[in-house]
Structures are given as structure tokens and as C-alpha cells.
Amino acid sequence: MQVSIACNIGAGGGSGITASEHLQKERRVALSMTAALVGQSKVRAEPSKRTVLFDQKSSLHLFTFCRNLGKSGLRVSCLGLGTWVTFGSQISDEMAESVVTVAYDNGVNLFDTAEVYASGRYSKISLIYMGVVESGRSSYVVTTKIYWGGQAETEHGLSRKHITEGLRGSLSRLQLDYVDIVFTNRSDVNAPMEEVVRAMTCVIDEGLAMYWGTSRWKAAEIMEAYSVARHFNLVPPVCEQAEYHYFQRDKVELHLPELYYKIGVGAMTWSPLASGLLTGKYHKGVPDSSRAAMKGYSWLKERLHSDEGKQQLSKVKELHLLAERLKCTAPQLAIAWCLRSEGVSSVLLGVSNKEQLMENLGSIGVLTQLTPPLIAEMDALLGNKPRGHKKATRS
């Protein structure tokens, strides 16, 4: 049984329903789900060994919760699975397969990859996509990011050569004919914008990708790409991947909504738990099993020990008390807070086991509790509401 959990908000799609009516409909549906979802952290196994939030007698499985990717026609689950953690070297193939299966069975149709995830080896991902997802390629969305590649000068960056060859290499490792969305990182300021847009249009015309998006681009760069596309009759980007959580707000809440209304670019956000900072695991120091204690994450440990980090941890403790008041977990509240933001098409989850995934999926039930007074209370607690901030919530 497949149970969908993502949120049904997006462009009207020509249905004749106003945006206000869409929001009211979502509130009614989500309210009916709250009792079933809020606080759910235990995994329940079906006789078929599938892990789902609802049994077959539940009428809630009839509802699908998806959003349009920006103003495109592509429907994506509002909670996606980011595979950077799931397919990391510290996770076994069996656990990775289990996490993807549980996510898919609960309505997650968006799986985000990159050419360097799992050190550029896609054995785990290709095995799962080819063998676990049984409903066919058309039932899920795969993304990848191009930029890093190999060590040679021609194996990274955003030249037309690397965009084309890097994407083909990723497809080969994924054992897929195409990806639905290919993202580009704008770290390579030496690549002319016209070359990037033409290369993206080329891979789409060749059938290697359906859409293209940006990752960590500035709003001005996204607007430039759109202008180049329109000037030369090329394909413009449809989405920006951006970091978004309690302590990283300006881009998603100030700049991307404006781009959404002007040119239809949506937001796919990542790190909703701020690399684990919002979970509470660092309240009493850095556990040996935590990410901050791992090799290559010294930057996170330094951040936690900085004055700013200590202030943030103090605010996280207060947010935990707020979550207790709402009868949900702190991660559920943090993810729901991201989902409530205007223009956000999907929030990517980073999980390493099924229990963590099921807890995060329960954030859907918290969404309806984020009323304007509660958001105002959270803004006052955080003290970092962006200046010039306009209404940026879906409820």
C-alpha cells in the first residue's frame, strides 16, 4: 500500500480554484491528519514488512499532498529525501534501501542526489531505484547536482563540457536514462551565464533531463539566467536549492518569494534541522556519535562552540519547550516551520534510519498548528525575522 504524505499546495493548474480556496482545503485535510501524525515517532511494520503511517482501513491514504515545483507543472512531495546522509559511507546498503522504501511507501516521490554523493559511487542508489521502486520510473522524481566532479580542470565547474559529460556520468552510475531535474552550483564565476543556460537547454533537448534548477545561486544570478533564457529563447531555471532553517532565513523569506512571483522560480530547501543543531543532541556537548564529532565536520564543532552557536543552542532549548506544548518533537516543529514558508515547493530531509524518517514525516501534522500568533511568538524568540519581511506563510 502506498500512502502519500506531502502537502497539496501549488499553482492552481487551471483548476479554477483560487489560492485562498487551496489553502482552506489544505487546512481541512491536514487538520484531519494531525491526530494521526503529531508525535508519531515509533515505526509500525505492516505484515508485508512495509512501514507506513496509516493502515489500509484509514481513509487518509486517499489524500495526496504535493506541490508544484515553482510554477512548473511538475508535482513533487513537499517532503523529499536528500541522499547525502542516507547514502553516506557510514550507512549500510540495507539501511539505505530500507529508508528509501519507507519514504516511497509513505508518499515521498522526490529523491535528491549529486555527482559527488557517496564519493561519486551510485551503487546503493541505482540498486534501490532499479529494484525497490516497483511502480515504474514515472512514479518518482530524481534530481542531481552538477559542479564538483573529478580533480582535472575539465571535470568540475559549469563549462558546457562538464555539464554535459558530468550529467551523462551521473546517469550511467544511477543506471537511469534521464533525471527529472539537474541542478547547478554557481561557485564557478568564470563560466559565462549564457554558456550555462545554453548547456542546460542542450541537455534538456537531448532528453537527459526534464528541468533544470540552481543551487546556492544569488537572486541576481537567477534573474540573469532567466533574462538570458528569454532573450535567446532558451529554457529558464524552475527552482533554487537553498539552505533554510531557524537561523538561515533571509534568502528564502525575502528574495525567493519575489522571484517566485516574477519568474516562477520555486524553492527546494535543505538542512531544516541545521545539521542536527535543532534536534537537541548538542545541549550537553558533542556526542561521539554525532555529525560534529566526525572527520571533516570540524566547522560544525567550531560553530557549536562559538558565541553565536551558544546563543543559538539557548534558543533551541526554548523551542523545545514550545514543541512540548504543541505535543510534537522539536524536529517536527522545525520542519513544519520550513514547510509553512511561501514559495517552498519541497523540504529535503537528511535521515540515516527509519525511525528518524518516520518522525520527520510526522511534521505534516504540525503544519496546521503554526497559526499567525504562534509564528509571531517564534519570531520574537528567534529575534532574526528578516527586515522588509512580508507575509511569507501558507496558513
| 212 found inside a domain | yes
Q: Is 386 helix (H, G, I), strand (E, B) or coil?
A: coil
Question: For residue range 225-264, what is the model confidence (pLDDT) as tens digits?
Answer: 999 999 999 999 999 999 999 999 999 999 999 999 999 9
* Measured CA distances, 15 to 18, 22, 285, 343, 346 (Å): 9, 10, 52, 19, 22
117 catalytic residue (yes or no): yes
Give the Cα separation of 272 and 315 in Å (integer): 16
Q: pTM for the whole thing?
A: 0.81
Question: What are 283-341's pLDDT values in tens digits?
Answer: 555 555 555 445 555 555 566 666 776 788 889 999 999 999 999 999 999 999 999 99
Give a yes or no: residue 17 inside a domain: no
> Pick the residue with more confidence: 91 or 214?
214
CA–CA separation, 230 vs 114, rounded Å? Answer: 28
129: Cβ contacts below 8 Å, ≥ 6 apart: 111, 140, 142, 174, 175, 176
Of 23-32, 42-51, 192-201, 215-224, which range is least confident?
42-51
pLDDT at 89: 53
Report if residue 62 sits inside a domain: yes
Q: Which amino acid is at 216?
A: R
Per-residue model confidence (pLDDT) at position 63: 36
Q: Is the pLDDT of residue 394 over 90?
A: no
| Gap between the terminal Cα atoms of the chain | 30
Catalytic residue among 117, 129, 140, 282: 117
Rounded to whole angstroms, how far apart are CA atoms 341 and 294?
32
Beta bridge mates, 45: 51
Mean per-residue pLDDT for 200-211? 98
| Helices first, then strands: H and E counts in the chain | 14, 10
Assigned domain for 324 exists: no
More confident residue, 234 or 342: 234
Can you give the pLDDT at residue 349? Answer: 94
Q: pLDDT tens digits, residue range 73-126?
A: 999 999 999 876 555 556 777 788 888 888 888 889 999 988 765 544 444 555
pLDDT value at 8 more than 50 = no
Q: To the nearest 5 percent, what fractions of the chain are helix, strand and coil? A: 45, 15, 40
The pLDDT value recorded for residue 120 is: 45
CATH number assigned to the domain comprising residue 201: 3.20.20.100
Run of H or E including 270:
strand 266-270
pLDDT of residue 307: 72
Higher pLDDT, 104 or 376: 376
| pLDDT for the residue numbered 296 | 56
Residue 381 placed within a domain: no
Is 19 inside a domain boundary? no
231: CB partners within 8 A, 6+ apart: none
* Residue 96: CB atoms within 10 Å: 23
Using CB atoms within 10 Å of the CB of residue 194, give its burial: 0 to 12 exposed, 13 to 18 middle, 19+ buried. middle
CA 19/CA 231 separation, integer angstroms: 31
Query: Diameter of the chain by CA atoms?
Result: 57
* pLDDT score of 379 more than 70: yes
- Contact between 236 and 225 under an 8 Å Cβ cutoff? The reply is yes
Q: Answer yes or no: is 85 within a domain.
A: yes
pLDDT of 58 > 70? The answer is no
Amino acid at 119: S
User: Residue 135 has what pLDDT?
Assistant: 61
Q: What is the pLDDT of residue 20?
A: 46
Domain extent for 335: 58-283+329-370
Q: Is residue 299 part of a domain?
A: no
- The band of 46, judged by pLDDT with boundaries at 50, 70 and 90, is very low
Strands 79-82 and 110-112, by their bridges, are: parallel
Mean pLDDT across the stretch 149-164?
A: 88
Contact 222, 264 (CB under 8 A): no
Q: What's the rounded Cα separation, in Å, for the pair 35 and 214? A: 37
Do β-strands 209-215 and 239-243 pair in parallel, antiparallel, or remain unpaired? parallel
Q: Which residues pair with 383 in a beta bridge?
A: none
How many domains, the chain? 1
Radius of gyration of the chain (CA): 20
In this prediction, residue 298 carries a pLDDT of 56
